Amino acid sequence: MLDSNESLAELTKEDTGIDFLPINNAQPKRLTPKQIVSFNDQGYISPLPALSVDETQWHRDYFDRLLDNLADFRDSRDAYSIMNYHDQCKGIWQLAQHPVILDYVEDLIGPDIVCWTSHYFCKLPSDPKPVAWHQDATYWPIRPTRTVTVWLAIDDVDISNSPMEFISGSHTLGAIEYQKASDNAVLAQEIPDASTYGTPYANILPAGSMSIHTSTLIHGSKPNQSDSKRRCGLTLRYIPPTCGVLPYAISSLHRGIVCRGNGFPWGHIPEPAGEDLSPKPWHRKQVNAKNSK
């Protein structure tokens, strides 16, 4: 198992280190043994109840306020730009520590848990942008590829407002070839003919519930087909602290929140004092590049 930076430095381009590591947990605390089998066989578990009715309403109101605050900046950021703000926004930081969510995650990755990245995927009504079919692991420098993603629904998600779709069983195929996604897609990579790798599953979720998927699973979503219903979910990505990072991307782990246990050598983001959506360095670069044209 790759668990130190020394072994990561030895990874070659051909040996991507992108593999699914099955979960072996005979006594899960919150998941059922059947759900663990489903994670191993299909690459995801869904649906899972998570937030109470009051917490769900709080989260929706909180996200609505974040979107309003973002608009006040009047820069080029959009409804997908609230990415990696768990280090500047108290509400996101606290959601990453939600005990019910962490109990599910603990059953899959063990009692030491780090949230290393987060992202709201918000499709406004009639949003024309797809999230092209992709594997998270081909974007990320984390090795071994043990990240599990919690997708926490803020809005009710049904077929009409374009749920995330999973290609069941595709997580065991290693790194899958991709091409550049079309210009209007949310993310940059696209796996062509994804349905040849397995059966698509529509991740329909009531608000406040969640799914969990592994980073080697092919997934994506269509443009929002509904002209009245928003479709927003918060992704929280968790690893055990034994995961390392490829040498070119060490800073990725410096934004981790230690959620449970210890043993994480990369640091710990403390709870932010409030909500701060000021642009990240990569946004500033985009804005400067735009302004200099």
Instruction: Name the site residues for ligand AKG (rule: CB under 6 A).
Output: 121, 131, 136, 149, 151, 164, 219, 221, 233, 235
In angstroms, what CA-CA distances link 172 with 148, 193, 214, 215, 291? 14, 17, 10, 11, 44
Query: What are the respective helix, strand and coil percentages of the chain, to the nearest 5?
Result: 30, 25, 45
Least gap, CB of 120 to ligand AKG (angstroms): 9
Please say which residue, 219 or 255, places its beta carbon nearer to ligand AKG: 219
What number of residues does the chain have? 293
Question: Which one, 210 or 259, has the nearer CB to ligand AKG?
Answer: 210
CB of 17 to ligand AKG, least distance (A): 19
Q: How far apart are CA 245 and CA 243, in angstroms?
A: 7
Q: What is the CA radius of gyration of the chain?
A: 18
Among residues 116 and 151, whose Cβ is nearest to ligand AKG? 151
Residue 203 is encoded by which pair of tokens?
């991740």
Is the C-alpha dihedral spanning 90, 91, 92, 98 positive or negative?
Answer: positive
* Least distance (Å) between residue 4 CB and ligand AKG: 27
Task: Give the closest residue to 238 by CA, choosing from 208, 264, 275.
Answer: 264
Question: Tokens standing for 142?
Answer: 């984390």
Least gap, CB of 163 to ligand AKG (angstroms):
8
Half-sphere exposure of 182 (CA within 13 A, CB side): 11
Q: What angle is formed at CA 204 by the lines to CA 54 and CA 39, rounded to 5 degrees?
A: 100
Q: Which is nearer to ligand AKG, 24 or 210 (CB)?
A: 210
Nearer to ligand AKG, 7 or 60 (CB): 60
Q: Between residues 98 and 129, which has the closer beta carbon with respect to ligand AKG?
A: 129
Distance CA 120, CA 235 (A): 6
Nearer to ligand AKG, 54 or 123 (CB): 123
- The minimum distance between CB 167 and ligand AKG, in angstroms, equals 12
Residue 14 CB, nearest approach to ligand AKG (Å) = 25
Residue 155 makes CB contacts below 8 A (sequence gap 6+) with 60, 161, 207, 229, 230, 231, 232, 233
Q: How near is the Cβ of 232 to ligand AKG at its closest, in Å?
A: 8
